[in-house]
Chain A
Amino acid sequence: MPVDEPTHAATEVDEVPVERVEHVDQDPFEAEGEPSAARRVLSALSAGNISAIYVFVLLVVIFSIWVPDTFLTTETFKSLLDQQALPALVALALVVPLAAGVFDLSIGAAVGLGAILIAWLIQIKGVALVPALAISVVGAGLVGAVNGVLVTRMKIDSFIATLGTASIIAAMTFWISDQQILGLPSNLESIAATKLFGFTLPVYYVLVVTIVMWYVLERTPVGRRVYATGGNVDAARLSGVSTRTVVFVSFVICSTLAGIVGVLITARLGTGDPTVGPPYLLPAFTAAFLGATQFRGGRFNVWGTVLAVYVLAVGVKGLQLGGAPIWIPDLFNGTALILAVALAQYQRGATGSSHVNRLIARFKRQPDPEPTEV
């Protein structure tokens, strides 16, 4: 009764391996097998994988022809590296929560908080430099902790939660000081303005953060767990990943880095300004989403993000040198964000649903980070 197939399989046993081999040959995937080295190189160089590099080259060529005198100078490229170091750090910070599958819209506000805290502590409260630095960075990091609690414990969607905290932190920033705080000491300035081999220190900070983040995200179990949480929070949780911790810590890292950027902005300007933070929000998202279309086929990643920051910066810089009006950067960034996401949708066909798409698709089905903890 239990088995409805009589045991006449034995007679056919000899045929089994033969048939299997034949079947494998016809398999659509197996026919490709492990791609050859040449194929791997080709696909690594394909427009779908490193389109930003081609765009970068194209932009350089266009502006070299358009405004050769001002664009094609070492000074331009040096200043690009210097100027974009801080936006690059913000974009890198944002990669962490995005990889974990949550938005952090409060990142700009956290930058602003860090920027005003350091100036206020030193100038108004007379705190010494080192403790002031520590308090500013930790203060900004607390924003992430609040976000983390809201999202993992109170189960508020990250988009809404961080939108709310962004507004609250922006208000707090103005509450601390609604005007510029001038006359900051030069030893603060030195952490951002000191030059080493012709570049200011933030360029090296970017390099260090990039390498550390790349190592952690791409090479360690921790990074795998972050990507797994972002890819499928339920599957990750049932595989023993502490998804709450992953999300919480990703928020804290993001805000802490944002706070460091805020401090660096104040150091660079020599002035505490309550309005500097929020403009960092959109370029960071643009770079992170554009970066996700590069190298890793739809996965938010560190090198793609850094590349995206500089591609966008070259575009903006060239247009400015060509005489474009001041609203150009916003237009350029907004367009690039939409194009980047559209590109990610297009890539879906090639590599299956990307992490970017999962993050966008969460509006259709809201996964609870940890729905059934006892």
Chain B
Amino acid sequence: MAYDDEHLPNRSVKVDESSRVGDPPGPSAPAGRAAGSPPLLEITGMSKWFPGNLALDDVSLSVGAGEILALVGQNGSGKSTLIKVLAGFHDADGGDISVTLSDGEVYEGAKARPHLHFIHQDLGLVPTLSMIENLDLDRKSSWRDLLPSRTSDEVAAAQELLREFGTMFDVRAPIASLAPAERTIVAIVRAITGWTDPNSVLVLDEPTSSLNRTEVDRLFRAVRAVAARGAAIIFVSHRLDEVMDLADRVVVLRDGRKVADVERGGFDHDDLVRMIAGRELANFQHEAHAQDEAVPLIEIRGLRGHTVEDLTVGLRAGEVVGLGGLLGSGRDDVARLIYGGLPREQGEILIEGRVVTPKGPREAIAAGMGLVPADRAADGLVMTMTVAENLVLPHMSRLRTPAGNIKVSREKAETAKWIASTELRPQRAAAVVRLLSGGNQQKVVLAKWLRAEPKLLLLEEPTQGVDIGAKTMIYELIASAAQSGAAVLVSSSDAKELVQICDRVLVFRDGVVAASLSGAQLTEANIIQQSLRVFTPALDKGEADAG
């Protein structure tokens, strides 16, 4: 068992207490963090081979009790593989895992697993069961299982747990009917309840990808509370702000190797980006391409349906308009209402002064629209098909020969062009989409619609779960679509993203536009402030939808 001394966390855990607003009171350094004692979780020399690919290359890291370690890296850097090895989905091809409890007892390899708790990206909940039923799944079986469940007690207990998170929803409703944020909270509640020993390891894999800022804060309070009880936390995230906010220490993986292990205070945002990407990222600079016209290219009049109460807006050619606001504020339904993917109660859509108001996606596409949906796996891509097949799915008839078959040479030429211009990896038209990383999958969805040269490009959460390298590329692609004369409508929960790429942002609150921000007004703070001004928790809104 050899490890580099620099990886020992106990030497210099610097915790800037002043920045940790909302921390629960309590000892800042629990017993396990006393100098000299071994770290709670220790991974040494972990390697993992996949056919033709060394996914993990001799990675060693350790987390002390009460410490929050952030694990960052691009998609495909080995983060997920490391988590999967820890969880026992994959067997490592070398390396050890050991857990040392506060009483000095050491558990190695598979015996360490009971002390590791995971919240995976897909949350691991049974969507058809309710929260209390999901919580019940983890309980140890006993003779009591034969007795009827004491539902009222369970409901009360579950509600109590939710209250700790400062939220409330119907704990008897199926998970599938909850908002994504609520599901995440259920998963976290499930992971941290029933710990007999506070000296456990909690691994959170991208827990915040569907949460907005308020909910993220709630989650972080909970995570810090768990750490304060003496748990070791491993936190995987693409959102560097969150990492800066939460982590005591950051481990950066790149191409399966650990490239950095830095303490809080020893890095800033730019350092992180450099370490993750292995290069300085060209900072994305938005340029306005909006053209001055008397008649806007796109007009949306009195749009109503689902969570949207009323939206009237005009978009000029080359303009990138953002949609901000909380989950359920209406922001997240606009794109589909315009596209005809959700039923519209009212409203009309005009392109170049002509009423189109599509009844469904087919008409929307014919009218010159394209939609990049938030959930690329469920709505954006046919995962079993190849990059080329996905790219040409809309407007396939353009590739048809008189004999009715697809002109292969033309398909190849068109797809090759987009594969090159999006810097897709691998650069193969025949690669099955499922095997691509999240960022590259997103490039395929985007390229699919850019190929169609839409007049109106609708995007939902365009960079969700996407690594920072792909993010910049996606921003560039959006800008190039605007430059070539399309109107772009972007819905995002990431206020910084909206500020970075939009000319104008419409902030939604309770189904209507609460503010239209542009120019100097367009700041991250303003978007957040406008979306929260009259405090309407997103969760309550989501519950109303579910009911």
- Chain A positions near chain B (C-beta within 8 angstroms): 1-9, 11-13, 15-16, 19-20, 23-24, 26-34, 215, 219-222, 224-225, 227-228, 231-232, 234-242, 298-299, 351-355, 358, 365, 372-374
Question: C-beta contact mask, B382-399 vs A, less than 8 Å → 1, else 0?
Answer: 111100010011111101
Task: Give chain B residues whose Cβ lies under 8 Å from the Cβ of A6.
Answer: 270
A-B contact pairs, 14 of them (CB 8 A): A1-B523, A1-B524, A2-B524, A3-B283, A4-B496, A5-B273, A5-B283, A9-B283, A26-B255, A29-B431, A235-B381, A239-B393, A352-B383, A374-B340
Closest chain-A Cβ to B357's Cβ sits at a distance in Å of 9
B428 within 8 A of A: yes
Q: A221's contact among B50, B341, B384, B400, by CB below 8 Å, is which?
A: B400
A12 CA to B270 CA, complexed, in Å: 13
Interface centre among A2, A3, A6, A34 (most CB of B within 10 A): A2
Are A34 and B428 also in contact (CB < 8 A) when A15-B280, A23-B278, A228-B389 are? yes
**A15 and B382 in contact (CB under 8 A), knowing A221-B396, A239-B394?**
no
Output the least CB separation between A168 and chain B (Å).
30
For B285, the chain A residues whose CB sits under 8 A away are: 3, 7
Q: Contacts A27-B425, A33-B426 known; A221 to B381 CB distance under 8 Å? A: no
List A contacts of B360 (CB < 8 A): 237, 373-374
Cβ B378 vs Cβ A234 within 8 A: yes
Q: Is there an interface contact between B384 and A19, defined as CB atoms closer than 8 Å?
A: no
Tell me how far the C-beta of A248 lies from the nearest C-beta in chain B, rounded to whole angstroms.
15
CB of B365 within 8 Å of the partner chain: yes
Q: In the complex the two chains form, is B384's CB within 8 Å of A231's CB?
A: yes
Contacts of A3 in B (CB 8 A): 283, 285, 499-500
The interface bits of chain B over 342-374 (1 if a CB of A lies within 8 angstroms of the residue's CB, else 0) are: 111000000000000001111011100001010
User: In the complex, are the beta carbons of A227 and B385 less than 8 A apart?
Assistant: yes
A114 shortest CB reach to chain B, Å? 28
Q: Are B382 and A236 in contact (CB under 8 A)?
A: yes
Contact B522 A237 (CB under 8 A): no
B280-297 contacts to A (CB < 8 Å): 280-283, 285
> A24 contacts B384, CB within 8 Å?
no
In the bound complex, CA of A15 to CA of B393 (Å): 37
Asked if A235 and B379 make an inter-chain contact with CB atoms under 8 angstroms apart, the answer reads yes
Q: Do the beta carbons of A28 and B76 come within 8 Å of each other?
A: yes
Measured CA separation A225–B359 after assembly (Å): 20
A240 vs B50: C-alpha distance when bound (angstroms): 37
Are A238 and B427 in contact, CB atoms less than 8 angstroms apart?
A: no
Q: Which residues of B contact A (CB under 8 A)?
A: 50, 52-53, 55, 76, 127, 255, 269-270, 273, 278-283, 285, 336, 339-344, 359-362, 364-366, 371, 373, 378-385, 389, 392-397, 399-400, 404-406, 423, 425-428, 430-432, 434-436, 448, 496, 499-500, 522-525
Q: Are B282 and A13 in contact (CB under 8 A)?
A: yes
Most chain B C-beta atoms within 10 Å of own C-beta, residue among A7, A11, A16, A228: A228
**Bound state CA distance, A33 and B426, in angstroms?**
7
Please give 5 more A-B residue pairs, beta carbons under 8 A apart, in addition to A34-B430, A232-B382.
Answer: A19-B279, A33-B427, A234-B379, A235-B379, A238-B371
Q: Chain B residues near A358: list those with CB within 8 A.
A: 384
- Indicate whether A2 sits within 8 Å of B393 (C-beta atoms), given known contacts A220-B404, A224-B406, A352-B432: no
Contact status A12-B255, CB under 8 Å: no
In the complex, A330→B382 CA distance in Å? Answer: 35
Tell me the minimal C-beta distance from B57 to chain A in angstroms.
Answer: 10
Q: How far is the CA of A23 from the CA of B280 in the complex (A)?
A: 13
B361 & A232 in contact (Cβ 8 Å cutoff)? no
The chain A residue sitting closest to B274, CB to CB, is A12
Determine whether the beta carbon of A240 is less than 8 Å from that of B394: yes
Q: Across chains A and B, which 8 residue pairs bring their CB atoms closest together, nearest first?
A: A29-B426, A352-B434, A28-B53, A12-B280, A231-B382, A2-B499, A221-B396, A240-B365
| Residue pair B383, A29 in contact (C-beta under 8 Å) | no
Across-interface contacts of A5 in B (CB, < 8 A): 269-270, 273, 281, 283
Compute how far the CA of A205 lies from the CA of B366 in the bound complex, rounded to whole angstroms. Answer: 39
Contact of A238 among B127, B280, B373 (CB under 8 A): B373
A240 to B522 alpha-carbon distance, docked (Å): 35
CB-nearest residue of chain A to B399: A221
Most chain B beta-carbon contacts within 10 A, residue among A9, A298, A353, A355: A9
Chain B residues with CB under 8 Å of A354's CB are 384
CB distance from A233 to the nearest CB of B (A): 9
Contacts of B393 in A (CB 8 A): 224-225, 228, 235-236, 239-241
In the complex, what distance in Å separates the CA atom of A231 from the CA atom of B434? 11
Nearest chain B CB to A234 CB, angstrom units:
5
- Asked, given contacts A2-B524, A5-B283, A234-B378, whether A299 binds B399 with beta carbons under 8 Å apart, the answer is no
Chain A nearest CB from B145 CB (Å) reads 24
CA distance A358 to B383 in the complex (A): 10
**A365 and B339 alpha carbons, distance in the complex (Å):** 25
- Cα A241 to Cα B360 with chains together (Å): 10
Could you say which residues of chain B place their CB within 8 Å of the CB of A242? Answer: 362
> Taking A234-B379, A238-B373 as contacts, is the C-beta distance between A32 and B426 under 8 angstroms?
yes
Contacts of A11 in B (CB 8 A): 280
Beta-carbon nearest neighbor of A242 in chain B: B362
Closest to A349 in B: B51
Q: Are A352 and B278 in contact (CB under 8 A)?
A: no
Question: How many Å lie between the Cα of A237 and that of B373 in the bound state?
Answer: 12
Residues of A within 8 A of B425 (CB): 24, 27, 29-30
Q: Which chain B positions have C-beta within 8 A of A353? A: 383-384, 434
Residues of B with C-beta under 8 A to A33: 426-428
* B contact residues around A240 at 8 Å (CB): 361-362, 364-366, 393-395
Q: Is the CB of B361 within 8 A of A352?
A: no
Q: How far is the CA of A352 from the CA of B390 in the complex (A)?
A: 15
B282 A16 Cβ-Cβ under 8 A: yes
Smallest CB gap from A373: residue in B: B360
C-alpha gap A358/B382 in the complex (Å): 11
Most interface-central of A231, A232, A236 (chain B CB within 10 A): A232
Which listed residue (B383, B384, B396, B524) contacts A299, Cβ 8 A? B384
Q: Give chain B residues whose Cβ lies under 8 Å from the Cβ of A220.
A: 400, 404-406
Contacts of B431 on A, CB cut-off 8 Å? 29
Report whether B405 and A219 are in contact in the complex, using a CB–CB cutoff of 8 Å: yes
* Most A Cβ at <10 Å: residue of B336, B340, B361, B523: B361
Minimal beta-carbon separation of A147 from chain B (angstroms)? 22
With a 10 A CB-CB cut-off, give which of B344, B359, B371, B384 has the most chain A CB atoms: B384
Residue of B nearest to A356 (CB): B384
Given contacts A15-B279, A28-B53, A30-B427, contact A352 B373 (CB under 8 A): no
Give chain A residues whose Cβ lies under 8 Å from the Cβ of B361.
237-240
Instruction: Name which of B270, B360, B524 has the most chain A CB atoms within 10 A of its CB.
Output: B360
Chain A residue, CB-CB nearest to B395:
A240
- Expressed in whole angstroms, the Cα–Cα distance for A372 and B378 within the complex equals 15
Output the least CB separation between A20 and chain B (Å).
8
Name the distance in Å between B242's Cβ and chain A's nearest Cβ.
13
Closest chain B CB from A23 CB (angstroms): 7
In the bound complex, CA of A34 to CA of B429 (Å): 9
Beyond A15-B279, A374-B340, A374-B344, is A31–B52 a contact (Cβ under 8 Å)?
yes
A6 to B280, CA, bound (A): 11
Chain A residue nearest to B385 (CB atoms) is: A231
Picked from B53, B279, B371, B430, the residue with its CB within 8 Å of the CB of A31 is B53
Cα A112 to Cα B145 with chains together (Å): 50
Interface centre among A20, A30, A239 (most CB of B within 10 A): A239
Contacts of A365 in B (CB 8 A): 127
Instruction: Provide the residues of chain B in CB contact with A352, threshold 8 Å.
Output: 383-384, 432, 434-435
Is there an interface contact between A239 and B399, defined as CB atoms closer than 8 Å?
Answer: no
Contacts of B279 in A (CB 8 A): 12, 15-16, 19-20
A225 to B361, CA, bound (A): 14
The CA of A225 and the CA of B76, in the complex, are separated in Å by 31
Cβ distance A314 to chain B, nearest Cβ, rounded Å = 30
Question: Do B342 and A29 have beta carbons less than 8 Å apart?
Answer: no
Q: How far is the CB of A323 from chain B (nearest CB, A)?
A: 43
A317 to chain B, nearest CB (A): 34
Q: How far is the CA of A215 from the CA of B393 in the complex (A)?
A: 18
